[in-house]
Amino acid sequence: MSTTANRSEPTPPRQRTIVVVGSGIAGLSAAVSAAEALEGTEEARVVVVERAEPHEAGGNTRWTSAYLRLDDVYEPGDSFVEDILAFSDGRTPAEYVETLLDRLPETMEWIQGHGVRFRRLPTYFINSSRRRLQPVGGGEALLAALRPAAERLGVRFRYGTTAQRLVQDAHGRLSGLLVSGPDGEETIPADSVIIASGGFEGDAEALSEALGKDTSGLLPIAPGVRFNKGEGIRMALDAGAGRGGQWDNFHAEPVDPRSPDPEALVMVFPYGILVNERGERFIDEGRGTVDETYESTARTIWSQPSGTAYFITDRSFESVTSRERGLLTTAKPEVADSLADLASRLGLPPEKLEETVASYNASVQQGTFDWRRPDGKGTEGLDPPKSNWAVELADPPFLAYPVVCAIVFTFGGLETTAHGEVVDEAGAPMPGLYAAGECTGIYHGKYPGGTSVLRGMIFGRIAGRHAAGAAAGS
Ligand SMILES: Cc1cc2nc3c(=O)[nH]c(=O)nc-3n(C[C@H](O)[C@H](O)[C@H](O)COP(=O)(O)OP(=O)(O)OC[C@H]3O[C@@H](n4cnc5c(N)ncnc54)[C@H](O)[C@@H]3O)c2cc1C
């Protein structure tokens, strides 16, 4: 009897696969962290599927300045958690924000270990109160550091490949990811899937449905928006995931529609008035610092006729010596020696604009104008009022910038645990399924600026490490 027939070779354990969907800050942080945790083992491999080609990959991360809501590299500031919770009236899960705080130091150490440097630069919020830190080179520098790191660690990138659906085995357990790519559809076997494919701001239909109104008037803030169509969120919901964040809201910024540039911000609206296409004021332009009010101002502009407003000011604007910092538009203002002439250039009713400015001027109260901080120099008897920075507009030349609302990202997404595991509708973790970054829903009401890239990095890293631990341990 042959001995070889009975003595079977021990079968090597099957190599597990972690698939990451998307290669923005969340996806790359997840892929690199998973690969680092698995380095030197053969237990699992990491595959990134990315819908864009390499030169366009990186979604919103590619276009962001990546301001972080930090006082310094390891210093989040005194009220980091409280502020973020307050912005949502307590609806953002406290555990999520506390995890951000806890994991901040090690994550900042890690990203600096990949060659990213930080600096504290003045922002476009020229009367702001919260400090921001920025990676040198913005979001693109984060991609430029992490993508080669992933490649060195053996992560396989599949560009031009779009995740479509999660695949489950006969027991309902996650077993793969259906993707479409240059060669058609294919299922990639997967033990874990980390969804990091951004929000659904790039899908006009899904956006209109979630926001409950036509969104064709919203400008995409940057070219990266169009890649984020929400398949990652949808495929998890189809598999029974629970929803997080405010589905009928989004992060908005006021921009100049004439500018060909991404993020052509007009963040100087408190130093004049905003009128709609009827020549009427519709908002208290000075109700708080720009940092606190720019998002709701942009959304209110969107609700005006034709979704357009005009920032009107005069020579007094020159006294705002940092005004250029608040103007990221490269388009020049419309300039005229009279309000009637300015109105004609803008296509506004001249008499109405003159009337609006006259009643505004008549309501301006005495006080000392200080553009650097809320100065209490407001109006009396005006509806809507202007609470700060009220100065008569009577000194030509008059200037105007058109302003519309741009969408940056959606607030609605998936709910996760503090380990980045996607939870089902009953709140239980779904085995093998993770999510990080914009596709997870935590924001409600008002976006706490400077938290999006930070959370993508921190939770991407958490999800990657957890998935690697699960792959190695199973
Ligand atoms: C102009 C601008 C300025 C901003 N300023 C700031 C700021 O100062 N501070 C801050 O914190 N945040 C800022 N943000 C927001 C922040 O940049 C994003 O929220 C963050 O980068 C999102 O990271 P992410 O990895 O979750 O998604 P993304 O960076 O958008 O990456 C998603 C990736 O998934 C890919 N993808 C999408 N769908 C699929 C699919 N089905 N299959 C495969 N791949 C898919 C996309 O191609 C993309 O590469 C700004 C954004 C923009 C655009």
Cα distance between residue 458 and residue 436, in whole Å: 9
Residue 399 bridge partners (DSSP): 313, 335
- Check: CB of residue 263 under 8 Å from CB of residue 253: yes
Question: Measured in angstroms, how far is the CA atom of residue 411 from the centroid of ligand 1?
Answer: 13
**The predicted structure's pLDDT at residue 12:** 66
Question: Pairing relation of β-strands 184-189 and 174-181?
Answer: antiparallel
| Ligand 1 mutation pick, 19, 50, 60, max ligand atoms within 8 A of CB | 60
Average pLDDT of every residue of the chain: 95
Work out the average pLDDT over 249-260. Answer: 97
| Ligand 1 mutation pick, 23, 33, 61, max ligand atoms within 8 A of CB | 61
Q: What is the CB-side half-sphere exposure of residue 24 using CA atoms within 13 A?
A: 33
| Ligand 1 mutation pick, 25, 64, 180, 410, max ligand atoms within 8 A of CB | 64
| 8-22, 57-71, 81-95, 319-333: least confident range | 8-22
Work out the average pLDDT over 128-152. Answer: 94
Q: How many CB atoms lie within 10 A of CB 121?
A: 11
| Ligand 1 mutation pick, 197, 238, 410, max ligand atoms within 8 A of CB | 197
Cα distance between residue 241 and residue 359, in whole Å: 54
Cα distance between residue 212 and residue 366, in whole Å: 43
Work out the average pLDDT over 210-233. Answer: 97
Instruction: Tell me how long the chain is.
Output: 474
Share of the chain above pLDDT 90, in %: 92
Work out the average pLDDT over 282-295. Answer: 97
Work out the average pLDDT over 306-330. Answer: 97
Question: Measured in angstroms, how far is the CA atom of residue 228 from the centroid of ligand 1?
Answer: 8
- 227 has pLDDT over 80: yes
Nearest ligand 1 atom to the CA of 27 is 25
Q: At what angle do helices 25-38 and 452-473 cross, to 10 degrees?
A: 30
What is this structure's pTM? 0.95
Question: Measured in angstroms, how far is the CA atom of residue 319 from the centroid of ligand 1?
Answer: 37
Question: Measured in angstroms, how far is the CA atom of residue 436 from the centroid of ligand 1?
Answer: 11
356-389 pLDDT, tens per residue? 999 999 999 999 999 999 999 999 999 999 999 9
Residue 6: pLDDT band with limits 50, 70, 90: low
Nearest ligand 1 atom to the CA of 227 is 47
Nearest ligand 1 atom to the CA of 67 is 8
Name the residue with higher pLDDT: 19 or 131.
19
Question: Measured in angstroms, how far is the CA atom of residue 396 from the centroid of ligand 1?
Answer: 42
Cα distance between residue 388 and residue 210, in whole Å: 35
**The predicted structure's pLDDT at residue 313:** 98
- 1 has pLDDT over 80: no
Residue 474: pLDDT band with limits 50, 70, 90: low
Nearest to 228 by CA among 211, 204, 208, 259: 204
Question: Measured in angstroms, how far is the CA atom of residue 137 from the centroid of ligand 1?
Answer: 16
Work out the average pLDDT over 206-235. Answer: 97
Nearest ligand 1 atom to the CA of 25 is 25
Nearest ligand 1 atom to the CA of 198 is 27
Question: Measured in angstroms, how far is the CA atom of residue 173 from the centroid of ligand 1?
Answer: 29
Question: Measured in angstroms, how far is the CA atom of residue 230 from the centroid of ligand 1?
Answer: 12
Strands (E), 3-108: 16-21, 44-50
70-120 pLDDT, tens per residue? 999 999 988 899 999 999 999 999 999 999 999 999 999 999 999 999 999
Q: CA dihedral defined by 21, 23, 29, 34, rounded to 10 degrees?
A: 50
Q: Report the nearest-CA residue for atom 46 of ligand 1.
A: 59
Question: Pairing relation of β-strands 118-119 and 398-410?
Answer: unpaired
**CA 366, 373, 390 angle in degrees (round to 5)?**
35
Question: Pairing relation of β-strands 429-435 and 192-195?
Answer: parallel
Residues touching ligand 1 (Cβ under 6 Å) are: 21-27, 49-52, 57-61, 63-67, 139, 162-163, 196-198, 221-222, 224, 227-229, 231-232, 262-263, 408-409, 437-438, 450-454, 456
Residue 314: pLDDT band with limits 50, 70, 90: very high
Burial level of 252, CB count in 10 A (0-12/13-18/19+)?
buried
Question: Measured in angstroms, how far is the CA atom of residue 94 from the centroid of ligand 1?
Answer: 23
Q: Report the nearest-CA residue for atom 39 of ligand 1.
A: 197
| Beta carbons within 8 Å of 260's beta carbon, 6+ residues apart | 330
Cα distance between residue 320 and residue 3, in whole Å: 91
Question: Measured in angstroms, how far is the CA atom of residue 449 from the centroid of ligand 1?
Answer: 14
Work out the average pLDDT over 191-214. Answer: 97
- 210 has pLDDT over 60: yes
Question: Measured in angstroms, how far is the CA atom of residue 24 from the centroid of ligand 1?
Answer: 6
